Each structure stands twice: as C-alpha cells, then as structure tokens.
Chain A
Amino acid sequence: MKAAVIIFPGSNRERDMVMALKSSLGKPPIEVWHGDIELPKVDLIVLPGGFSYGDYLRSGAMAAHSPIISEVKQQAKRGVHVLGVCNGFQILTETGLLPGALMRNANLKFICKDVHLKLERDDTIFAEGYSINDVIRVPVAHHDGNYFADDETLKMLEDDGRVGFRYCGPDGKIDETNNLNGSRNNIAGIYNKRGTILGMMPHPENAVEKMLGGTGGKPMFDGIFTGLERLLA
C-alpha cells in the first residue's frame, strides 16, 4: 500500500506523521507539496498537523484552497482513505469533506497534554487496531480544537454513528470535566458517512513509542496498514 502526506507552508507535524507511518507501513510515505496539482495514486492521504499559512485567517481556511486540495477531494470521493489530524482535521472541515467546525478552545488557550479517548467504533480501517469502548491515551496540542456542529448536524453524526473518538477520563467516563476544549458531545474525531475519511484533533502519531509518549496511537497505524493491505488483496 502507498500513503501520501500533504505538506502545506506552515505544516509542522509532517515529520512526526512520516515517522509513525513508516514504523507501521515499513516504508516512508510520499511527501507531496501543497502547490502540486497532481497526486500520485495512493491508498491513503494524510493531512498533517501544524499552522498552515500561520492559521492567520481561520485555522485551515487558506490551506483548503491550496492547488492540491481539489485532487484530494476527487480521490476522497473515489473512496481513497483520508486522515486529517489537528490542522488536517481543520482543513477537512474547511474543504467540506467533513461537517462542522473547530473553534477556539473554550479556555481560549493552547492546550498540550496527554488526554484519554474512548473508541466509539472499531469497524473502520483507522480503528480496527482497537476495540469499541477501548480507552487510549494520546496527546493533544491545539488552540482551535473545540468541535462545533449545529443541532441538526450533530444529531445526524450521532444517529449515523460517525463519531470516532470522544474525550473521556482514564476510566472512560465521558463528562464535562473531561471535555478539555469545549467540544460538543466531547467529540475528538469524526468520520464521513462511508467511514473512509477521519478527522481528529489528538495526535496518534505522537504516541507510537513506549519512551516517547506511550503507544496509544500505534494500533491506529498498524490497523491502517493491515486494513488497507486487506482491501488491496
């Protein structure tokens, strides 16, 4: 299987993502510059974290209009898997590939710490390394991670089971105390309808080694590899 990581001016977690993908996929992903208009044929497209264009307008708003994005959209519509992490999630909502928006954290501050996430699904390639109701520990590092969707959209997301992860306590408890940034329904990550596009604020790529933040994110990358290999077989 082949993966591509899209790099925008201001991306800053592309190296972390490349390292994490490499350790599970066995080979490094292709790195694609935002100004390119062609995307090689790949099985997974990743939009990494960072501050594309400084996030001076709205987080992800400028990047959503980069030349490469129309190609990303087309491939996504054809069913190619897309993962957007942090700024990548913000870009996915700005492109309309995922609904809702990421607003400034409720405390108005940048937050960087380990958080616990509860797995709401395990039937996608992104989550097949986990089991439903698993609680995993991964870090967050964002200023604009407060997920918002209007009532109707939120109901649709919940009814269709499109929430991938929620912020929770170490014991899996989902409540306001464990809602670190004000996200509606403690949402940390969501899917498109087909479960082929995942946007999430936390950084699984920073939790793939025991001595460097733990291994809470490792099953995601391992699952992506086995899942995509199976689809290709």
Chain B
Amino acid sequence: MSKITPKIVAEHGLSEEEYQNVLDIMGREPNLTELGIFSVMWSEHCSYKSSKKWLKTLPTSAPWVICGPGENAGVVDIGDGQAAIFKMESHNHPSYIEPYQGAATGVGGILRDVFTMGARPIANMNALRFGSPDHPKTRHLVSGVVAGIGGYGNCIGVPTVGGETNFDPSYNGNILVNAMTVGLADTNNIFYSAATGAGNSVVYIGSKTGRDGIHGATMASTEFNEDSEEKRPTVQVGDPFTEKLLVEACLELMATDVIVAIQDMGAAGLTSSAFEMASKGGVGVEMDLDKVPAREPGMTAYEFLLSESQERMLMVIEPGKEHVAQAIMEKWELDFAVVGQLTDSGRMVIKMNGKIEADLPIDPLALASPEYDRPWVKTESQAEVALSEDIVPENYLYTLKQILSLPNMCSRRWIWEQYDQMVMGNTVQRPGGDAAVIRIQDTLKGLAIATDCTPRYCLADPYEGGKQAVAETWRNITAVGARPLAITDNLNFGNPEKPEIMGQLVGTIQGIREACNVLEYPVVSGNVSLYNETAGQAILPTPAIGAIGIMTDYRKSVSIAFQSEGESILLIGETLGHLGQSIYLREISKIEHGPPPPVDLSVERRNGDCVRSLIDDSLLTACHDLSDGGLLVGLAEMVMASNIGASIHDVSGDMALLRWAYGEDQARYLVTTKKDSEIISRCAAENVQVLELGMTGGIDLSFADESITIAELKEAHESWLPKYMTVIN
C-alpha cells in the first residue's frame, strides 16, 4: 500500500491540520481510498465548513414550510394536499472549464435533487454571470452555457421559464451558472434521505458508473489558476434522455411503498450519498463495489467511490421488496443493483474483490464534519456620492436608449428563445416579466417563480445587498399577483480564507436574514459556492436568490405589458432619488462608488401587500416592479412588452429630474389601471404613497418634452445580444 505523503495530502486539498484530524479519527494512517473519501466529504462543496456557522442563523421555518434546509431540496405547502419542492444550485467551476456539459449537468443535478423527494419537476430557472463582453472567452462561454441548459432541460421536457444574466469583468475567470428547479408533489408522498433500519438493502439505480467527474467536488473547492483547463476530466457528461427515464421510473416507484430513503448521487457521487444518508439515519453501511454497475472494466475502489457519473440514485429498500423496484427499472431500461446493506455499526465498510477497501466512521465525514469560524472583516460602508451638474444628461430619452442597449440591460430574448418555455402546457407567464407563472395542472392555482440578485449592490454593501436580493424576488413575486412563500439561496463568493471575502459572505447572510424575518419569507434550501477566484481576483459577491409564491387563481395574474390605450399609469411607493450604485451612475457617468439604495423592509412589506391586494381585486391591468435602471427603464419595458406607448407628465417637483428618472429607490411598482381613483383611495387607506404619472397610448414614449418611438426603443433593446453572439471570434 502506498504511503500517504504530505504531497498526496495536499493534492487532495486537505490542510495539515485537517490531515492530523484524519489521523486522530482513524487512529491509523488512512489508505488512498479513505483519504480520497475524506477529501471530498470535507471539501467546502460538500461540508459547507466555512459557511455552516452563518447559514445556521437564517430563518428557515414558517407554518407553510414542510421541510427546510438539510434535505435535497426545500418543501413548501401550497394547499390542497400539494407541495412545491425547490432549490437552486451552482455548477460554476465545471461550466467555466466545459460550458456545455458543465451547464447541462448543473440542470440535471438540480432536477434530481427535486424529483428524489417525490416531486415531478414543473419548471426550471437559471441565474448566469459572465465576464466582460470584451473578454475573449465570454462569447464562447455564453454560447456553451445557454446551449447546455437548453440541451438538457428541453430534452427532459421541463420548461425553462426565466432567470437572469449579468456581465462583469470580475467573472472573467469564474462564470456563475446557478440552476433552479421547482417540482410538485403530494404532501403525503414526500421522500427523505435518512437511511434507517439495519438489514435494509442499499440499492443503486440509474446509469452505470464511469470514470468521469472524479474529484469534481474538490475541484469546485479551490481557486482556479493558469492550468484550470487541465481539469476538464473532472467535468461530468450529461445524458438527459437517461434522466428523463429516471424521473419517470422514480415517480412510478414512488407510487409504491417500497422506498425507505432515497438520494441522488451528485457531488462526490456514491460516497457522499451513502455517507449523508447513513449519517442522517444514524446507521452504518456495508457496501460491495463489485455489485456497482460499471461502464468499463478495471475501475478501482477509489474511482468507483469518487466518480461523479450522472443520472444515478441511491435508495434504501426493505429486504424482500427489491423485486418491485427491479421490475420498474427494467421497464425503463435502467440499471438496478443491490450494492449493500445497512448495519448498526455507525461505520462505512467498503469491499471489493472480497477485500476491505475502506473502513471509516460515518458521522465525522458527514453531519459532524469540520466547521470553521473563519476570520472576517466588515465591509466598510461607502460615503454618499456628491453629484455635480455635469452628470445630468442632455437628452433623457437618448440616454434611455443607450441604457436599454447595455449588455447588462438589453433583452435576453436570444437566450430564452433557446429554452423550451411551454412544454408541459402550464406556462401562464413566460420569460421577460417580473416572475414566471405556472398553472398547477387541473387546478386554478398559479405558482410564481423568480430569481434575483444585484451583485454591484452587494459589493458596495453586502448587508444592504443581501436584503435587496431577497426583497427584489419578493417584489417580483408580488408584481404578478402571488403571495411570496419561501426562497432558496445560492451564495457565490470568492476565497473565504480571505477575511474581506468572508466579511462579504457574513454581511450578505445577515442581510438575507433580516429580509427573510421581516417579510416572513424563510430560506428552505440553498447552496454555497466559494473559491470563485482566479489568480487572486474574486467575483462580485453574488447571493442569487430563487423564490416561489402562490396565487389561488392564475387567471388574475398580471404581466408587465399594458393591456390597452387610455389607461392611467400610477407609481406606487416613494421616490427619493437614490442614485448611488445605479445603472445610470455606473454605466453612463462611470461613477462606481457610493452606497446602494437602502431597503426599508417594513415599507417594502406595506407597499407589496397593497399591490397584491389590488391585483387580487382585479383593479390593476399591468404591474412592473422598479429595479435596475429605475423609472424610465421600467416604463420602457412595459411599453416594449405591449407595443403601446405612454406619456408621462413631469411630476418631479423639487427633485432633480435625473434622480426622478434614473434613481433606484426600492419598494416601487409601476401599475396601470382603469380605476385610478379607487387605487388612490385604497393606497391612502393603507398609508402607501401613490402618484399619477400619465397615460398609456400612442406609438411613442413621451417624457419631459421629449419623445421616442416604440420601434426605436425596441431596436436598442433587442439588438445588442444577438449581434454580439453572431460575431465570430
């Protein structure tokens, strides 16, 4: 047996201190296979060792939460015996190395997390961040990631209904691919991962195990450097057709009563599934690798255990019932094998060719894995920007056109048209609005889904940025008329061993916590991706938030599109003219410092609750929350979505017109109505600010003595991305 040298330890990503820990736990030197298991199970990706301490502070419960974080996905009650099961997860490192397969398997992985709990996936979303459009790799990465997401989701037949895409140079060496899946289950048929019952069979189903993705989790837990391209063999290869069979087979099997526990094999494959399931259920496992379906002969125990081959699941089944599962897997032409038994030893004993290849205690590698309190420094808050007269634009609508064509502000149509948005036949609101709306089949219920995050706000002030990301999804869900229920958080940051990065993580989590508490909007699942750095350059702090909400009647949902001419346009919420970190200051004036807009959560809640009740009473005909770019951008988006113009009077009063037009104050909604006096009195009764801005109609957007045609706006908004993507490098 090879001796474990410090070099081998370092190659496995374990620190000297961690290795000493290994020796103490084992009471002897581990063999290479055992070391490999420690390496993946203690990786940041699997153990959450840097973030655990802080994640524990997040609110995770509410009367409608059935299952919070810690399982494969979060479970929320949506009434009538139905549950929504959802989660967002990153596949950042693999997608940078091999964009198509990295993104595709990201989608495959998150789908499995959801259907492993008994849910049929009903919608996908994604939050993407790419480097500067000028960077030589960006076009190739955008093209590959979008094709990969589409290739997997389209084939499996789950609609991709929205998401977000940003460009920023900080992502040049570390793109972010965060994929979210929402599924639908019966509350009395939800499946969990805790393995129980010594003597029960451990069953493997799905694809065969090959040599792909070995050490993917460890790779995803380190910074990139010059040779990261050499890590391509650590990227998995996806097979959406097999996953489609797996979904159908699992759901068919879940209609029987044979499954005790089930978990998909994701990061760190067979190893992490077996350890996590056993640790949660407080049992031991004896596994025989000779029984594991192999794609090729000659694989070692190390390779079997660390492979991240896709489309595989591990289950616990009562002895004597295996044949039920076997028959269903045979119908769907999937592999099936009993690979071991549960024991009461609390240990993982792995055999191959009659020889013990690994013998480890379970808990220290799973539930009791290391937890660090890493040093952190609070991000200094930034002083208000002193604005001079020379940043005022000469022509507001010319500037609007410029803003609408910016890489970060232009239409994402080029992306979403590559995704099947309506398969399954329940898509009420497609991409392009504030939130997607999916009808719950055979009911009138509508599920609203949104993702959001404004990384530039988070960089300037992690606490306010964290609050804002949560509040914006809450507002998105509200703007279609749904009641926000819960979120999933996908925290993407740089190297947590640097106190300033750790400070961003801590600050952001504190902001998320505050927003979740005030809005009664708990975190039910999530994922942390750290070490998103290349050559010492960290990404912007990016806590992507995915959210769901419910409405009792999907037919009442409203979109951002004006419905007819001659309706009143109203602004709900107070305009203070906050310009710090606005799109206008950053992109037009090139001023990158200053604080982001503060989020007053009680105002947020009051305004949102008011808007939602107006929609529920069918008083609004269109609604759009204001975010990036502020009032004029929001208005232009509504105009473009409907092909109906708008004219706005100057209502800025004492405020500088610039602040009025481009300020990014929070908790605001642009709405249209035929019943303005009723809206105004309802808002007054609820102490919500409301202002009449103008009317819909015509073929122009008119503002402050200027006007621009809808066609011009659309040309500016729609052309950048397709043009950018057709240039050949």
Contacts and interface: CB of A to CB of B under 8 A. Distances in A.
Interface of A: 9-10, 12-13, 15-16, 19-20, 49-51, 53-56, 109-113, 139, 141, 143, 203, 205-206, 211-213
Contacts of B424: 15-16
B154 A143 contact: yes
Interface residues of B, number: 32
A26 B31 CA distance: 66
Contacts of A206: 422-423, 425
Given A15-B425, A50-B157, A10 B241 contact: yes
B725 to A, nearest CB: 10
B425 A212 contact: yes
A54 B245 CA distance: 10
B426 interface: yes
A109 B425 contact: no
A200 B77 CA distance: 40
A206 B157 CA distance: 13
27 contacts: A9-B244, A9-B332, A10-B241, A10-B244, A12-B423, A13-B157, A15-B425, A19-B425, A19-B441, A51-B155, A51-B240, A54-B155, A54-B239, A55-B155, A109-B147, A110-B150, A110-B420, A112-B417, A112-B419, A112-B422, A141-B420, A141-B422, A205-B425, A206-B422, A212-B422, A212-B426, A212-B428
A113 B426 CA distance: 15
Contacts of B332: 9
Contacts of A50: 157
B439 interface: yes
B39 interface: no
B554 interface: yes
Nearest to A208: B425
Nearest to B242: A54
Nearest to B422: A206
Contacts of A12: 155-157, 244, 423
B418 interface: yes
Contacts of A49: 423
A49 to B, nearest CB: 8
B374 interface: no
Interface in B136-158: 147, 150-151, 154-157
Interface in B400-454: 416-428, 439, 441
A99 B244 CA distance: 30
Contacts of A139: 422
B420 A112 contact: yes
B417 A111 contact: yes
Contact of A54 (B241, B333, B416, B426): B241
Given A110-B154, A112-B418, A212 B241 contact: no
B53 interface: no
B241 A141 contact: no
Contacts of B420: 110, 112, 141
Could you say which of B154, B245, B427 has the most chain A C-beta atoms within 10 Å of its C-beta?
Answer: B154
A20 B244 contact: no
Nearest to B419: A112
B438 to A, nearest CB: 10
Given A9-B332, A51-B155, A143-B154, A212 B427 contact: yes
Contact of B425 (A20, A51, A110): A20
B675 interface: no
Contacts of A54: 155, 239-242, 244
A206 B426 CA distance: 9
B323 interface: no
B555 interface: yes
Given A53-B241, A54-B240, A110-B420, A141 B425 contact: no
Most buried by A among B156, B157, B426, B555: B157
B245 A9 contact: yes
Nearest to A107: B726
Nearest to B154: A110
A49 B422 CA distance: 12
Contacts of B150: 110
Interface in B221-244: 239-242, 244
A110 B159 CA distance: 13
Contacts of A15: 424-425, 441
Contacts of A205: 425
Given A9-B245, A112-B417, 15 more contacts: A10-B245, A12-B155, A15-B424, A16-B423, A16-B425, A20-B425, A49-B423, A51-B154, A54-B240, A54-B241, A112-B154, A112-B421, A112-B422, A211-B555, A212-B426
Nearest to A12: B157
A207 to B, nearest CB: 9
Given A9-B333, A54-B239, A54-B240, A213 B422 contact: yes
Nearest to A143: B154
B154 to A, nearest CB: 6
A102 B555 CA distance: 37
Nearest to B413: A113
B418 A109 contact: yes
Contacts of B416: 112
Nearest to B241: A54
Contact of A211 (B239, B441, B554): B554
A20 to B, nearest CB: 7
A113 B420 CA distance: 8
A12 B241 CA distance: 10
Query: Which of A16, A55, A212 lies at the interface centre, i.e. has the most chain B CB atoms within 10 A of its CB?
Result: A212
B261 to A, nearest CB: 27
Nearest to A53: B241
Interface in B147-181: 147, 150-151, 154-157
A143 B418 CA distance: 9
Contacts of B244: 9-10, 12, 51, 54
Sorted nearest first, the 3 A-B pairs with minimum C-beta distance are A12-B157, A54-B241, A16-B425
Nearest to B554: A211
Contacts of A211: 428, 554-555
A173 B422 CA distance: 26
Contacts of B425: 13, 15-16, 19-20, 205-206, 212
B154 A10 contact: no
A104 B555 CA distance: 37
Contacts of B147: 109-110
Q: Which of A12, A15, A16, A203 has the most CB of B within 10 A?
A: A12
